[in-house]
Amino acid sequence: MQLGWIGLGNMGVPISLNLLKAGYSVTVFNRTASKASELIEAGAILAQSLEELVQSSDVIFTMVSDDEAVKDLYFSKGLLDSAKKGQVFIDMSTVAPSTSQQVYAAAKEKGIGFVDAPVSGSVAPAKEGKLLVLAGGEEETFNSVKELFEPMCKMSIYLGESGSGSNAKLAINLLLGITVQGIAESVLFAEKQGIQIEDMLTIINESAVGTAISKMKTPAILKDEYPAAFALKHMAKDLRLAKETGELNAIGNSAYHTYKDALDGELGEMDVMAVIKELRSKK
C-alpha cells in the first residue's frame, strides 16, 4: 500500500516514522517543507503539492490542528477533488464530530472512503507506537485499513458511524482535562496546608488514585516547568468542542472555564499541566 501523510506536527512526524519503520512507502506533504527533513532521511518521499501526494497514494492520512484546518484542507484546498474512487482518507485530527461527518459525506459522494481516527496519547506514546486509535466511519472501510494502525498504536477501536471516533476523543480528553485539573487542585490544597509538593505527589502516585498521567506530570510540577507534550491550547480547544457538542455537567464545565482562563492568560503554548499556574494565580 502506498501511503500519504499530510501534517507534520509534533505527532505527525513520529507516527510517520513508525510507518516507515514498518516497511510502508510514505509520501509526505507539509506547508513548511523543512519539517519533513527527518522523514526524508528515513526514506519518505516529499511531495511538492497536495495533488501529487494524492495521486501517488492509496491511503492518505491527515493530521492538522483544528476544524478550520481540516475544512480548509479537504474543501478550500480541494483535497477530495484530486482523489480517485476507491481511495481511503484517514483523518487523525481532533475535531468536532460534525466536521468528521461533513468530510465523510463529501467523500462518500465521490466513492471515496473516509475514517475519522483521532488518537489518545501524546508525543512519547507516538514515538513508542503506543497510541490508542479511536475510529468512526463505515466498518468495511475501517477493516480495510486497520493493519495500518498497528505500527502506531497498542490498540485501534472501531466505535461506529462517522463522527464516533471524534466523539470518543472529546470524551477521553474531557476526562484528561478533569484529571489534570484535579491533580493541580490537590497539590495546591496540600501546599496551602503546609504539605510539601513532593510529598503530596508521592501520596498521589502511590495511592489508589495514582495514574499514568499523575506520574508522567510529576517532574514538571516539581520543577515548575511545563514544556508542551500536549499543549494547553489544544485542551482548551477540545473542551470547547465537547461543550459545543453536548451539555457538560458540573466538573466538565469547571474544567472548560479553567482551561479557557488559562488560555486567555497566555499559557496556551505550555503543557496542559500548566493549568496549575492558572489555579495558583487565583489562590
Task: Kindly list the catalytic residues.
Answer: 169
CA distances from 166 to 199, 212, 257 (A): 38, 23, 21
How far, in Å, CA of 53 to CA of 5, rounded? 8
How far, in Å, CA of 153 to CA of 21, rounded? 14
Does residue 174 contact residue 37 with C-beta atoms inside 8 Å? no
Phi/psi region, residue 103 (left: phi>0; alpha: psi -120 to 50; beta: rest), is alpha
How far, in Å, CA of 67 to CA of 52, rounded? 24
CA distances from 56 to 1, 51, 87, 91 (A): 10, 9, 11, 18
Grid coordinates given for 4: 500519504
